Each structure stands twice: as C-alpha cells, then as structure tokens.
Amino acid sequence: MSTRTLVSPAALARPRGKALYWTVFTGVVVLFALAFLFPVYWMVTGAAKSPDEVARTPPTLVPKHWHLSGYTDAWDLMQLPQHLWNTVVQAAGAWLFQLVFCTAAAYALSRLRPAFGKVVLGGILATLMVPAQALVVPKYLTVADLPLIHTSLLNDPLAIWLPAVANAFNLYLLKRFFDQLPADVLEAAEIDGAGKLRILWSIVLPMSRPVLGVVSIFALVAVWQDFLWPLMVFSDTDEQPISVALVQLSQNIQLTVLIAAMVIASIPMVALFLVFQRHIIAGIGAGSTKG
C-alpha cells in the first residue's frame, strides 16, 4: 500500500535501521513540539498568568495561579465580540460573493463559450501576475471613490466583499474543475430541457463539492488573515476586524490581556483547520503539484 521512498523497507527492518529510525522519529517529534507547539503553548498559558508573573525572569513554565481574568478582560475591554462579529460578517460576505459570482463566471467561461472568452480569461489570469499587495493604494483610491457612481465604500463591509470576487486563483480553480466534468451528463440535461441556470445549480454544483470546499476555505482564511487591506479601508474603530483592532489596541493594553486577545483571535481559524485538516492538507498538496 505504502509506496517506496528514499529509504528502503528492508533497511528499516534491520536492527540498526530500526534504532536509527526511532532516533530520528523522536528528534522530529521534539523539534516539532519545541518549534511549533511550544510558542502556542506559551501564548495560551501566558494569557493565564498574572501581570507580574508574565514579566518575571526566569519565566515560569506553568502559571502559578491560573487567571482567567486576562481572557475576560480581553473580551470586555477590547470589545472583542464586536471585532469578531465584524470579521465574521466580512469573511462570510466575501465567501458568499465569491461563491456566487466566481462560480457563475467560471461556469460561463468553461461551458457557455462567450465571445472573447479567451480574452476575458487571459485578462483574469493576467491579474495573477500583478501582485495584489503592490496595487493596494490605487485599489484604495478606487474603493474610496467608485468610478461612474462616485460612492465611497470605506468603512463598509462591501469594501471587502466586492474586491474579494476579483480572485483569479479561485476562479481559475473552479473553471478547471468545471472543464473536467463529463460533457455527456451536461448534454443529457440540456436535451431534457434544463436551462443553463438549472444545469449549474442541479448538476454542476453538486458534482463540484470538493472544489467548492477548497474555494470556501481559501476565501474564509484569506479574509480572516488579511491585515493591510482592512487597515486601509476601516478607519472607523467600530468596523475594524479583529486583526486590525489587535494591532491598534496593542500599544495601550496590559500584556496579559493582549495575549489573551491574541489567543481568542486565533481560535476560529485553528478550529476550522482542526475540523477540516484532512481536506485542507490534501487540497494544498493537490492544488500545487498539478499546476
């Protein structure tokens, strides 16, 4: 079942091979625990220490007394419910807008043969070459004063939702998946008299669950993790997502409270990851090597 790798199974079966294997294995476990788990542990326990204890040298490995006040203070003082809610609204909207407009556009480009479809696709793929961050300033100016209708989207979740649709990577992922769907099934539906929207809704989308899952996760994570764009767009504190609020408030707040807020800000994405880890990890591997 398992494929042959660099080291042969025969070599691993020998006593010396076995000993070496378990040494390396233990080394990697220790390394991973120290490098990746310990910082997270330090953060979660740091928030539970008293302000005195957290500043003590040498530090305590386990909090002497577990204070939950760091967490409750963060929740109340830093208005975390408000900022978390803002982030949820921004992420959910971006996800929904992407799902509706990107799937529709990908379906059109993949199956409906629009005139100049190649040109449109080329224009979309060209945006992959233009690094998004390098264009934040003109994008900001555009959002502050939309062309033709001259409306400002600043401090409005639409400033996150609409630009999120212009995601060439997700659109291309969807298009490529739609390209590979069996043509005879779609033709059969057409002969049965189903309209294009009906075909998209009842046949294409149910067959595309895996790719829709990947795109959904990418869309949610991207908004939750973003910093520079929301920092520019939301000057109004009440509208800021958690990432911006954390940085803005980090200057004037007690260390333990800030650390507690950092833990709380991380929980949703880490939880999402732990729940969907199989799909996420498989998606990263598959998406990258096939390209």
Partner 1 sequence: MTKTAARRPAEAIAVRPVRAPSPVGGRGRRRLADQLRAYGFLLGGLLCFAVFSWYPAIRAVVIAFQKYTPGSEPEWVGTANFTRVLHDPEFTAAWRNTLTFTLLALLIGFAIPFLLALVLNELRHAKAFFRVVVYLPVMIPPVVSALLWKWFYDPGAGLANEALRFAHLPTSNWSNGADTALVSLVIVATWANLGGTVLIYLAALQSIPGELYEAAELDGATLLQRVRHVTIPQTRFVVLMLMLLQIIATMQVFTEPFVITGGGPENATVTVLYLIYKYAFLYNDFGGACALSVMLLVLLGLFSAVYLRLTRSEGDA
Site residues for partner 1, 137-156, by CB under 8 A, read 137-147
Q: Return the number of the residue (252 or 289) whose C-beta is nearest partner 1.
A: 289
Q: Return the number of the residue (186 or 280) whose C-beta is nearest partner 1.
A: 280
The distance of closest approach from Cβ of residue 33 to partner 1 in the complex, given in angstroms and rounded to an integer, is 8
Q: Which of 5, 182, 191, 192 binds partner 1 (CB under 8 A)?
A: 5
Q: Which of 1, 62, 134, 191 binds partner 1 (CB under 8 A)?
A: 134
Kindly state whether residue 252 participates in binding partner 1, applying the rule CB under 8 A: no
CB 111 within 8 A of CB 186: yes
Residue from 163, 6, 187 nearest 93 by CA: 163
Report DSSP state, residue 203: I
CB 82 within 8 A of CB 238: yes
The distance of closest approach from Cβ of residue 131 to partner 1 in the complex, given in angstroms and rounded to an integer, is 5
Of 64-72, 76-84, 165-173, 184-192, which segment contacts partner 1 by CB under 8 A?
A: 165-173
CB 225 within 8 A of CB 187: no
Binding residues among 102-121 for partner 1 as defined by CB under 8 A? 102, 104-109, 112-115, 117, 120
CB 81 within 8 A of CB 89: no
Burial letters 33-48, b for 16+ CB under 10 A, else e: eeeeeeeeeeebbbbb
Q: How many residues bind partner 1 (CB under 8 A)?
A: 107
Locate 88 and state its tokens. 């949820």
Kindly state whether residue 68 participates in binding partner 1, applying the rule CB under 8 A: no
Give Cβ neighbours of residue 152 (< 8 Å, ≥ 6 apart): 143, 144, 145, 146
Give the helix/strand (H/E) hosting 60. Answer: none
Kindly state whether residue 99 participates in binding partner 1, applying the rule CB under 8 A: no
Q: Which of 129, 182, 209, 252 binds partner 1 (CB under 8 A)?
A: 129
Q: How far apart are CA 49 and CA 69, in angstroms?
A: 9
Kindly state whether residue 275 participates in binding partner 1, applying the rule CB under 8 A: no
Kindly state whether residue 173 participates in binding partner 1, applying the rule CB under 8 A: no
- The phi, psi pair for 80, rounded to 5°, reads -60, -40
The distance of closest approach from Cβ of residue 182 to partner 1 in the complex, given in angstroms and rounded to an integer, is 20
Binding residues among 10-49 for partner 1 as defined by CB under 8 A? 12, 21, 24-25, 28-29, 32-33, 35-37, 39-40, 42-43, 46
Q: How far apart are CA 113 and CA 237, in angstroms?
A: 46
Kindly state whether residue 209 participates in binding partner 1, applying the rule CB under 8 A: no
Binding residues among 48-67 for partner 1 as defined by CB under 8 A? 54-59
